[in-house]
Amino acid sequence: MAKLLTDFSRLCIHTITTKPWSLEECLSNYRKAGVPAVTVWRQWLEPQGLEASARMLQDSGLRVTSLCRGGFFPAVSEDGRNHALDDNRRAIAEAHAIGAPLIVLVCGAVPGMPLSEARKQIAEGIAAVLPEARAAGVKLSIEALHPMFSDARSAVNSLTDANDMAAELDDDHVGVTVDVYHVWWDSRLEAEIRRAGRRILSFHVCDWRTPTRDLLNDRGLMGEGCIDIRGIRSWVEKAGFTGDIEVEIFSDAWWATDQHAFVEKIKAAYLAHC
């Protein structure tokens, strides 16, 4: 079992977790709460632009864990695929500008496109932008998404799929993200985490509520659900991962509450359940 967490040195919060807050509010409030790291969702860069965002992040003193999200490579037309490549190149430039060492890839899927074809287009897409990523010193992390998102969000539906793709691309700038919400159900999870080993670039936590009222925006705070988060952390750490523990919660219910109080609840849940 993993060693208990006794401080917040590895705690990272995703800006989308506190969706009502602007980037400025996230940074200021996380820092006041003693949260040392942030993962920035790209929408949070838009209002003030990239340059101002980068300055804001640097001034905050917070560590930038990653940029969310690149990906969405598959498309029916070549135009669509080229558009996706351009967007991923922009994401790489953004990550570089804000000092994010990696981009999390939500790989994409197109309803009705065979998943095997989507997976092929994803691997080709990653390969196509890899030179830019390498030049920028930005890693690309393939996130396996829960199979309930296989229709329109990702054809990479298990850590097996992500590992297969990372192994195929076999590049030190490509790895995988383990998000407990997406992979906790998998009977092969421990073995696939072992197989991923040093390719694990990031680790996301939240919880699975029973009942889950919405496919997208009803994730639970750690401890509110049935995921053995600490058990999965012990596996990723045994595999060599020592990085941040990133709290990524999409929740209409939590977004409707006071976000300062929510951050305090996140901190308590982090110590109690991660």
CA 63 to CA 11: how far, in whole Å?
10
How many CB atoms are located within 10 Å of the residue 3 CB?
A: 9
**Cβ-based neighbours of 160, under 8 Å, separated by 6 or more:** 186, 188, 192
Nearer to a copy of itself, 228 or 258 (CB): 228
Residue 221 phi, psi (nearest 5): -65, 150
> How far apart are CB 122 and a copy of itself at their closest, in Å?
12
Contact 5, 12 (CB under 8 A): no
User: Where does residue 132 rank: exposed (0-12), middle (13-18), buried (19+ CB within 10 A)?
Assistant: middle
Nearer to a copy of itself, 52 or 215 (CB): 215
> How far apart are CB 177 and a copy of itself at their closest, in Å?
18
Nearer to a copy of itself, 93 or 191 (CB): 191
The residue written with tokens 């705070």 in the block is 221
Site residues for a copy of itself per CB under 8 A: 111-112, 114-116, 119, 146-148, 150-152, 157-158, 160-161, 164, 184-188, 208, 210-212, 215, 225-226, 228, 231
Q: State how far the alpha carbon of 149 is from the alpha carbons of 70, 248, 273, in Å.
A: 16, 17, 26
> How far apart are CB 5 and a copy of itself at their closest, in Å?
20
> How far apart are CB 273 and a copy of itself at their closest, in Å?
12
> How far apart are CB 224 and a copy of itself at their closest, in Å?
11
Nearer to a copy of itself, 6 or 187 (CB): 187
CA 121 to CA 118: how far, in whole Å?
5
Contact 203, 233 (CB under 8 A): yes
> How far apart are CB 109 and a copy of itself at their closest, in Å?
9
